[in-house]
Homo-oligomer: A and B are copies of this chain.
Amino acid sequence: MIIAAIEAGGTKFVCGLLKADCTDYSAPTILARTSIPTTTPAETLAAVAAFFAAESRERGGVDIAGVGCFGPVDLHPASPGWGRITSTPKPGWSGADVAGTLRDALGVPLAFDTDVNAAAYGEFLWGAARGLKNFIYLTVGTGIGGGVFSGGDLVHGLSHPELGHVKLARLPEDAYEGGCPYHKDCLEGLASGPAIEKRWGRPGMELPPGHPAWELEARYLARAVAAYALVLSPERVLLGGGVGMRPGLAERVSVLAGEELAGYLPPLTDPERLSGYVRRPALGADAGLIGAAALALRLCDE
């Protein structure tokens, strides 16, 4: 099975031709890849199509495609807007028909979901959430977002989860007002990479271990994890992204989430169960591409 996998991001579209098997579900092999800057929808999507046209000629065609896309996107199968970006501050992309354009260009069945749902599904098939029926994939970087897996499948409800925009109780020692343009001091406004930089005057990568920024960051993330645990009862939380993957952060967030819950959620009152509750994802730098390929394999069941 040859898969066209696309990680459609706000700054670049990472495209890959991958080989995987519908039946044994072993991790896919990347045969070819490229990265295309996100400029206008017409230009970017045409470049994506051209890459796959050239690559698939060389390798005897593509069978299925998967796209993990930046959002917000319309995921309602019955909606006339399915596969489009809904509204985004990114010039030209509001209403862009990402899924339809790529499906027509590639001429194969195409699975479409959010970038974070793609990453979550990749971790479910081949990563740090193998075999779990309920988990969350949270990414903390320039923004904060998450994919939610519940009852053995990705959550698609009214729209898609927006885990980064939950408004939490503030930590009293934190004077930073928050930087989310919609909600000011929601989780993303308080704990994303840009929030860290604005609060401390330096980007997170320049703040050493032991700097108070990291304990504050861990406490906000723990507060969010506690809320997710109470609402969704996930068996595990994967913490990805440039900020989220910082060594030691997941471990500290686990401990502090236990403190936030204050003995309330029985399995997590056991320190052994709590340890490892929040952990890093396993798929590393290729998580986006591999996640998009994972989405495509969902078409095998149809």
Residues in A lying within 8 Å of B, measured CB to CB: 72, 74, 86-87, 133-134, 148, 150-153, 155-163, 165-170, 182-183, 185, 223, 226-235, 260, 262-268
List B contacts of A228 (CB < 8 A): 231
Query: What are 15 of the A-B contact pairs (CB < 8 Å)?
Result: A72-B266, A86-B266, A151-B151, A158-B233, A158-B265, A159-B233, A162-B233, A162-B265, A165-B264, A168-B168, A182-B262, A182-B264, A183-B262, A227-B231, A231-B232
Is the beta-carbon distance between A134 and B162 smaller than 8 angstroms?
A: no
User: Which residues of B have CB within 8 Å of A227?
Assistant: 166-167, 227, 231
Q: Given A170-B169, A182-B264, A262-B182, is A151 in contact with B158 using a C-beta cutoff of 8 Å?
A: no
Q: A134-B156, A158-B229, A167-B226 are in contact. List 8 more A-B contacts (CB 8 A).
A: A86-B266, A151-B153, A161-B233, A162-B233, A162-B264, A165-B264, A166-B227, A182-B263
Distance in Å: Cβ of A86 to nearest Cβ of chain B: 5
CA of A158 to CA of B162, assembled, Å: 21
In angstroms, how far is the closest chain B Cβ from the Cβ of A273?
A: 8
In the assembled complex, the CB of A21 is this many whole angstroms from the nearest CB of chain B, namely 26
Query: A137 → chain B, closest Cβ, in Å?
Result: 13
Contact status B159-A266, CB under 8 Å = yes
Please report the C-alpha to C-alpha distance between residue A86 and residue B165 in the assembled complex, in whole angstroms: 33
For the complex of A and B, list the 10 residue pairs with the smallest distance between their C-beta atoms, beginning with the closest.
A157-B233, A134-B157, A150-B150, A162-B230, A182-B264, A158-B233, A231-B231, A86-B266, A158-B235, A182-B262
